[in-house]
With several copies, the nearest count.
Chain A
């Protein structure tokens, strides 16, 4: 499925969308609303879209799908997806509670995208970049062979074309249904990120809620500048695993973006409304010279 097919398939949905080259805001039906999971207040979807999916009452950051992320970050009309057909196979014939292929089909259907990450060429603040965004709805945006391959190609494309890399991460970790093939993607993507660094090309990552396990512990945190979204859960081990191991409750705010900032792990916690400008400004510094 190409990006244009994908946006076509999403046309009836309520997300704002980038259709081919043109930015198109989908119509949002009046009166559709969501209850904010943080403050429990009612938020109308139109309001939510306007407010880049941040609760206007309490500032809670709702999840964003890949298309919305692209829309948020890329200069209008500049995003062109690549490797759109790279998607997961089922190399182990894996069957847990349900077969992996069924999980894949369901995710493809639900998200109208072939895999958990979308990568493409784009401009941000007029800087040529490779932009990659992960979509948590797709099997928790876990990293299997396809995600690992796409991320690796994102770095390789950037190196070949002297572009910066901007990635928005969100992931439950490695995709266990692909076994060791999935674990090895950590090494593969880390190696690719290292090559980008050796070429002195900039890499900015944005850690969105949640970014855990094998994605955090590989390419996500190897960026030159790391931002996190407010309230995002970021870490290696999941809170439940830790609680089971240490047999005690976790402190409030543990593994939150703000906690990570306190512990020196991220450069800043950036509210979504300021994210595009902030990433653009970082690129102004690192991508050399003035905006085009």
Chain B
């Protein structure tokens, strides 16, 4: 059996699966009494798989969204895009590998693609800082947004970050300033902006490239104002209450459709997108092309105007005009 990453909530299932593997390695012909046991275990595993993956809680979805084998921005770019030209650097300080900006073609449509970039392995993750962006990364994205607008290219973004990096240098170089500028520019670009939540949507670092004219989310991705762990630490002084907080924060794709923030949800195979990346990516391609198609006809100024109206409606208040 190949070792695979086991999420917390998969553990009971994984243990039974391991046991089954072990049983199967025995010679059943010599141990006929085990045949029945194997059958029973198989049935139990089937039942447990249903109940484990059938309806995931918010916290379980957060775990799936962080699964190391989950398809990442780079996978989407490699699979969905052709004629890719990566654009590097902010032209002022550095090139942040935690964010990718590229000219890329999806289904014949020329676009500018932006995405948070996590690594496949530890080495890559260190280079890419686990998808946690520094100010120069946001400034690279801003540069790409301006380029897209100047040349009428729609923007497609892939959201997958635990959040903007909380470090000394990031603060020193104006993390808040860079994010604010990204929000400002993205809100005003006169080209279509289609966003896809593919994994983690951590706070301001996600939002900096994470809103537009259409927001699509994978079923097990999340998008949240704060990580469930940090929320639990602050409100309960107990990170162990993360699961509970995940439920309170309304951070799942489904919740966010209800709140009017997310437009569509891409279903994932049982267990998560990593169980069948090809199917998920082809569904994403279809949704993105659909969104781009629907937005293609609009006038540049009208696109930005509609995006403003869209943002304008978000929020639930009491009282109102007094």
Q: Are A and B close enough to touch in the complex, i.e. CB under 8 Å?
A: yes
Say yes or no: B95 contacts A146, CB within 8 Å: no
- With contact pairs A92-B248, A183-B207 given, residues A190 and B187 touching in the complex (Cβ less than 8 Å): yes
Interface positions, chain A 195-220, Cβ under 8 Å from B, are 195, 197-198, 200, 202, 213-214, 216-220
Say yes or no: B203 contacts A96, CB within 8 Å: no
- With contact pairs A174-B226, A181-B316, A202-B151 given, residues A265 and B89 touching in the complex (Cβ less than 8 Å): yes
For B224, what are the chain A residues with a Cβ–Cβ distance below 8 Å? 179-180, 183
- With contact pairs A89-B318, A96-B231, A224-B147 given, residues A267 and B89 touching in the complex (Cβ less than 8 Å): yes
Say yes or no: B251 contacts A149, CB within 8 Å: no
Interface positions, chain B 57-111, Cβ under 8 Å from A, are 83, 85-96, 103, 110
A92 CA / B261 CA spacing, docked (Å): 14
- With contact pairs A86-B321, A176-B226, A221-B180 given, residues A188 and B151 touching in the complex (Cβ less than 8 Å): no
Say yes or no: B168 contacts A254, CB within 8 Å: yes
Say yes or no: A96 contacts B245, CB within 8 Å: yes
Question: B172 at interface (Cβ–Cβ under 8 A)?
Answer: yes
Question: A288 at interface (Cβ–Cβ under 8 A)?
Answer: yes
| CB proximity of A200 to chain B, nearest CB, Å | 5
| CB proximity of A155 to chain B, nearest CB, Å | 11
Question: B320 at interface (Cβ–Cβ under 8 A)?
Answer: yes
A85 CA / B320 CA spacing, docked (Å): 5
Q: Name which of B31-39, B277-285, B306-314 contacts chain A.
A: B306-314
Question: B319 at interface (Cβ–Cβ under 8 A)?
Answer: yes
Interface size on B, residues (CB 8 A): 79
For A245, what are the chain B residues with a Cβ–Cβ distance below 8 Å? 165-167
Question: B158 at interface (Cβ–Cβ under 8 A)?
Answer: no
Interface positions, chain B 87-141, Cβ under 8 Å from A, are 87-96, 103, 110, 136, 140
Q: Which residue of B lies closest to A92 (CB)?
A: B250
For A168, what are the chain B residues with a Cβ–Cβ distance below 8 Å? none
For B91, what are the chain A residues with a Cβ–Cβ distance below 8 Å? 221, 264-265
| CB proximity of B196 to chain A, nearest CB, Å | 16
A97 CA / B235 CA spacing, docked (Å): 6
Q: Name which of A35-43, A46-54, A277-285 contacts chain B.
A: A277-285
Interface positions, chain A 144-199, Cβ under 8 Å from B, are 144-146, 148-149, 152, 174-176, 178-188, 190-191, 193-195, 197-198
Say yes or no: B95 contacts A220, CB within 8 Å: no
Interface residues on A, range: 35 or more
Question: A126 at interface (Cβ–Cβ under 8 A)?
Answer: no
Say yes or no: A186 contacts B168, CB within 8 Å: no
For B319, what are the chain A residues with a Cβ–Cβ distance below 8 Å? 85-87, 114, 146
A255 CA / B166 CA spacing, docked (Å): 12
In this complex, which of B170, B172, B188, B315 has the most chain A Cβ atoms within 10 angstroms of its Cβ? B315
Say yes or no: B322 contacts A84, CB within 8 Å: yes
For B321, what are the chain A residues with a Cβ–Cβ distance below 8 Å? 83, 85-86
Q: Name which of A14-22, A60-68, A70-78, A235-243 contacts chain B.
A: A235-243
Q: Which residue of B lies closest to A202 (CB)?
A: B151
Say yes or no: B83 contacts A176, CB within 8 Å: no
A266 CA / B321 CA spacing, docked (Å): 34
| CB proximity of A89 to chain B, nearest CB, Å | 4
| CB proximity of A276 to chain B, nearest CB, Å | 14
Interface positions, chain B 164-196, Cβ under 8 Å from A, are 164-168, 170-177, 179-181, 183-188
Say yes or no: A191 contacts B259, CB within 8 Å: no
A174-B226, A217-B204 given; 20 more Cβ-contact pairs under 8 Å = A1-B322, A179-B224, A180-B225, A180-B250, A188-B314, A191-B308, A191-B312, A214-B225, A216-B180, A217-B179, A221-B177, A224-B147, A234-B176, A250-B168, A254-B168, A261-B88, A264-B92, A264-B140, A265-B177, A267-B85
Name B's A-contacting residues (CB within 8 A): 83, 85-96, 103, 110, 136, 140, 147, 150-153, 164-168, 170-177, 179-181, 183-188, 203-204, 207, 211, 223-226, 230-231, 234-236, 245, 248-251, 255-256, 259, 261, 307-308, 311-312, 314-322
